[in-house]
Amino acid sequence: MLERLQKIIARAGIASRRHAEELIRSGQVRVNGQVVTELGTKADPERDRIEAAGQVVRTAVEKVWIVLHKPAEVVATMADPEGRRTLRHVLRGAPAGVFPVGRLEYAASGLVLLTTDGELANELLQASGKLQQTYWIKVKGRLSEEGLRQIGRESGARLRMLRSPKSTRGRAANAWYEVTLADARRDVLRKKLARTGHLVEKMKRVKIGNLSLDDLPEGRWRALEEKEVAGLRGAVAGKTKELKPPMNADKRRSRGREKKKI
């Protein structure tokens, strides 16, 4: 049966559908030995020989999902043209064919999801704008209570102060905060903090949707449980509510007066 190439490549676990489209555009996909660059091209995975990024597309691929605790200063891809350390260097013993879903900054550490399931990966990427993520961030200086509320309102995030991991009194000069926000708002938060003089010095992602890093050591990975995969499917199906910014004090008082009138 004829199908679009990007769908076939994604289902084979070579790349997400979005990445597969990039492979096609850049001339890295061949069908029966011929380079294909048009996104609308279709092929029959049962009859045609399809190659993507140097790999032969095979129709039967085991679906695998793993979580990795990425160290800082590791590129969240499987290869890097600049020669920096990549996920491939820390995925010792991991199943073959896994690729990362989404991105995490080079300087950041924390949770990275990898899979061979191109279809689910594509669905997660499409839902990433609303999928809640939790970070621990270290900023320059300390935010006031009012500053904390204002940054939260403007960036659509939930923030709370954390006890510094290296401070017994919890009063380190540069404070740590836990931040929960949608992926699309992460850069907004960083810019808002920078404008107030509180540059982000360190960042660690500890949760994506229902997936948590927990006590997984840095540089190690683990396979997801079936209930975790089911949770991801529920998230992309729209069962995860969109994160809303915290309500400020004036709105809470106004909402309270309205309820009393009723």
For residue 28, what is the domain's CATH number? 3.10.290.10
Q: Which of 208, 237, 252 is the last residue of a domain?
A: 208
Q: Which helix (H) or strand (E) holds 88?
A: helix 87-90
Distance between CA atoms of residues 12 and 9, nearest Å:
5
pTM value is 0.69
**3-class DSSP assignment, residue 46:** coil
Provide the pLDDT for residue 243.
Answer: 39
Residues with pLDDT less than 50, the chain: 167-168, 240-254, 258-262
- For residue 46, is it within any domain? yes
**How do 3-4 and 158-162 pair as beta strands?**
unpaired
pLDDT tens per residue across span 52-67:
988 888 765 678 899 9
Does residue 217 lie within any of the structural domains? no
What pLDDT was estimated at residue 177?
Answer: 94
Q: Find the domain containing 12 and state its range.
A: 3-56
pLDDT at 164: 61
Inside any domain, residue 12: yes
Residue 181 placed within a domain: yes
End-to-end CA distance of the chain: 61
What DSSP designation does 216 have?
Answer: P
pLDDT of residue 72: 96
pLDDT of residue 262: 41
Q: How many folded domains does the chain comprise?
A: 2
Quick one: pLDDT at residue 244?
44
What DSSP state is assigned to residue 73? Answer: S
Query: Could you give the C-alpha distances from 231 to 62, 131, 133, 179, 240, in angstroms and in order?
Result: 19, 12, 14, 21, 9
Instruction: Give the integer Cα–Cα distance in Å for 16 and 165.
Output: 36
Q: Is residue 203 included in any domain, yes or no?
A: yes
Give the per-residue pLDDT at 171.
Answer: 63
**Residue 172's CATH number:** 3.30.70.1560
